Amino acid sequence: MKTEITQAIHVFEEHHGLLRTHEALALGIHPRALYHMREEGLLETLARGVYRLTTLPDFSEPDLVLVSKKIPRAIICLISALSYYRITTQIPHFVYIAIPNKSRKSALDYPPIRYFWYSDTTYHTGVETIDINGCPVRIFDIEKTLADCIKFRHKIGVDVVIEALKMYWRRRNTRIDKLYEYAKINRVEKILHPIMETIVSE
């Protein structure tokens, strides 16, 4: 058993300390090793069927990592993305994710999630992969996030959108041309323009 446990720990470490049950089994970890590691406190259950080595440091964004691991098609968006980019004072009470049209919701019971269904074009545009403690997480880039916030302004709050645009404008590495490009794709260019005119003139 000690050999099995040692090998299992090594496999987990090679995958940033986080695996789903079926991934662990596919990588050669025996179910009894998983059970034993859980009983001995070597693994913690983050969600049903998702395990993490307890010997590793905590994730800086555990909810984003967990959702990305459990829902491979999820892209972090809207307020969750604003929070990651630090251009909002809002504290997300949900993980906001984009999924393709006609996709079903996940059975994940934690953390709480708000789903937004995106068309093929908007789902595949402006996506980047960030590294959170060695785990890949897909998220819309900052300009695409802002354009999406304008599109979904009635669902997240117009005040949230304006605050985010103001905080974005104060940054030194703004890409206004990129923001307008995404706004055009989202068909919100005419809404963005007067807001930005006001912000720039302040």
What is the block-wise mean pLDDT of the chain (202 residues), using blocks of 10 residues?
80 78 84 84 79 70 85 95 95 92 83 94 96 89 98 96 96 93 97 94 82
In the prediction, which pLDDT does 49 show? 78
- Cα dihedral value 135, 138, 143, 149, nearest 10: -120
Please tell me whether the overall predicted TM-score, pTM, comes out greater than 0.85 for this model: no
Q: How many domains does the chain have?
A: 2
Residues 90 and 174 in one domain: yes
> Do both 44 and 137 map to the same domain?
no
Residue 36 CB neighbour total at 10 angstroms:
17
Q: Does one domain contain both 161 and 77?
A: yes
Task: Verify that 69 and 166 share a domain, yes or no.
Answer: yes
Residue 29 belongs to domain spanning: 2-53
* Shared-domain flag, residues 7 and 77: no
> Based on the domain organization, do 100 and 148 belong to the same domain?
yes
Instruction: Identify whether residues 107 and 186 lie together within a single domain.
Output: yes
Q: Are strands 113-118 and 75-76 parallel, antiparallel or unpaired?
A: unpaired
Q: Would you give the distance in Å from CA 8 to the centre of its chain? A: 27
Give yes or no: residues 35 and 134 share one domain.
no
